A and B are shown apart, each in its own frame.
Chain A
Amino acid sequence: MAELVVSREYEFELPANAHIYQLRTPDASRDNLIRIASHLSIRAGLDVGSFTEHARWNSYQEPAGWTVRIFRSSGGWQYRHSLRWQADLAGANVSIDDNDAQQLAAEALAQFSGDIATGSEVQWVEHLHVNHAERGSAESNERTIGARVRFRRILDNIPVEGTGGSTVVYFDHAREVTGIDHLWREIDSVAARVTSLRRVGDALDDVGQRYRASRGRFEVTDVRFGYFELGWYDEQEYLQPAYIVFLRSGSPESKSRMRSVVAVPAAENHIGEVQPEPRRRDSQPVRT
């Protein structure tokens, strides 16, 4: 069994208003896609553009290049310009500082109806860089061609951690929006009020259990408390508090390192798990 190394103590107080929320069943129907598109100032219809039905999403593309895609499992959506999103256009080299980017992103979201990312905080700003090199030359040709701003959902004054619970706004060199990713599951009702938190030590035991079949040494580098929301392709029934445990592998005899994150329930009265365990695989027949 893996060795879990915890070098400091973690303790969290129960926030005043922590809940376990029942989430709404995602609606990836064409009607909902049209509704979202209209919030984004796109009039979606077969007379204008085209709909595509995929096993994992529905999408609409209009002739000017904007695409809206809604995911069946999560209800999250992506609004992107097929030619301009993350593209290197016109040899641009822009300077957008973090404050500028945050302001641009907030203004962009305010333009759209539908209360996108209401109740959020800026988590980070990243800049999109490009570079190229010729063989035999170490000359650097680095340029910055855009930026993206991630808003993190805040619920009951508690941050939402994970791939979900976020809105990301993308800009190009001209400071124009080229995409918005919105993965923000809708709440249906309160399933329960959180009455007390589990001990962090018990949660770390859960993490150890997840690594029960593994070998190696894993150092806990941080533990956070927050709601935990899964990714685009994940079904999720409840949104509930979690301890988010950051790990880093590092046994002395191993020259490789890798980080990982495991989320485990934080509420004593949690409902099920907050992060599914990786699928167990049958051993492959020995290759000859």
Chain B
Amino acid sequence: MISVGVEWVNNFSAPCVNDDLVNRAECAEGFLDAMTARGFTSMFDWGDGNAWETDFRSNDNGGDALDWSDAVNFCYFADHGVNGGPGGQMDIGFTSQHEYCTGWSDSWRLGISLLRWFVLDTCDLVLDTDAATVSNWFGPMQGVHLLFGFVGEAYDDGGRGASFGSDAANGAVLSSAWLSDASSWWEGETAIAIAAGTTQDDATNRRDNETINWVYEDLPAETSWLAWKWYE
């Protein structure tokens, strides 16, 4: 049985300043509804001030990921994201200062426990698709199978969560479903799926074939390969 958790932020307030968004709840909860409609288990749905960066920060970095983002198999996060920190670190915004207004990817150990698939429905999962840029995710991906997001800026569209959730729940190949469902079809939006693996074949096989039925496969925290795909 797949467990699912979602977090989203539409409305920001001081001291955590950001422009508000409109469709983040629609995306995250659309995904959750589609998964639960198939009988999968909803573990949490935290929105706006209830979404906390500590839910993603690893416990050994002082966070609480083992009780939240890494206590579910599939986590969907919809919000602002920005990439550009040293070494390609990604930041995601929160409106609640618990403990910080920003979560940063260098503090994550995604998949150290139960997390298999993580959607960052934000801008800037990566800024480019070359090996040097995408390799920045070797650090945070510590057992998570697949990461889904966008290259550069994304659109605050509402429908992709429900579409992706429906396809994922019904056994679609996850990377292909994301590339299809995440496209808003407006120009200049590039969806990307990044898979981890112990070998090159393992990573490419996961990228090309993994469905939610692969939930029981364990990956070590230090995987040696990443494989990704995108349209351009």
Binding site for B on A (CB under 8 A): 2, 54-56, 85-88, 124, 126-135, 137-142, 145, 148, 150, 162-163, 166, 181, 210-211, 213-218, 231-234, 246, 249-251, 253-261, 278-279, 281, 283-284, 286-287
Contact = CB atoms under 8 A, between A and B. Distances in A.
A162 B37 CA distance: 27
B156 A259 contact: yes
A54 B170 contact: yes
B61 interface: no
B231 to A, nearest CB: 4
A278 B131 contact: no
B225 A135 contact: yes
Interface of B: 10-13, 17-23, 25-26, 29, 37, 45-50, 52, 80-82, 91, 93, 122-123, 129-132, 134-135, 138, 153-159, 162-163, 166, 170, 173, 175-176, 179-180, 184-187, 189, 200, 203-204, 207-208, 222-232
B163 A218 contact: no
B129 A258 contact: no
A246 B187 CA distance: 11
A129 to B, nearest CB: 6
15 contacts: A86-B180, A88-B207, A88-B208, A129-B231, A132-B131, A132-B203, A135-B222, A138-B135, A214-B22, A249-B156, A254-B19, A254-B80, A258-B80, A260-B155, A278-B22
B207 A130 contact: yes
A137 B224 CA distance: 10
Contact of B131 (A133, A253, A261): A133
Contacts of A287: 46, 49-50, 52
Contacts of A283: 48
B50 A286 contact: yes
Contacts of B203: 132
Contacts of B18: 216, 254-256
A257 B12 CA distance: 14
Instruction: Sort A-B residue pairs by CB-CB distance and give the 10 closest, nearest first.
Output: A216-B19, A256-B80, A214-B20, A249-B19, A133-B131, A132-B227, A260-B156, A287-B50, A138-B132, A126-B231
A251 B12 CA distance: 12
A251 B170 contact: no
* Chain A binding surface, main DSSP class: loop
A140 to B, nearest CB: 5
Given A129-B129, A261-B184, A233 B200 contact: no
Given A88-B204, A131-B129, A132-B204, A150 B185 contact: yes
A256 B123 contact: yes
A102 to B, nearest CB: 16
A218 to B, nearest CB: 7
Contacts of B222: 135
Contact of A215 (B20, B154, B170, B176): B20
B2 to A, nearest CB: 17
A133 B20 contact: no
Given A128-B229, A132-B226, A284-B47, 5 more contacts: A134-B224, A138-B135, A233-B166, A258-B153, A260-B22
Contacts of A54: 170
Contacts of A124: 187
Contacts of B21: 214, 249, 258, 260
Contacts of B157: 260-261
Nearest to B52: A287
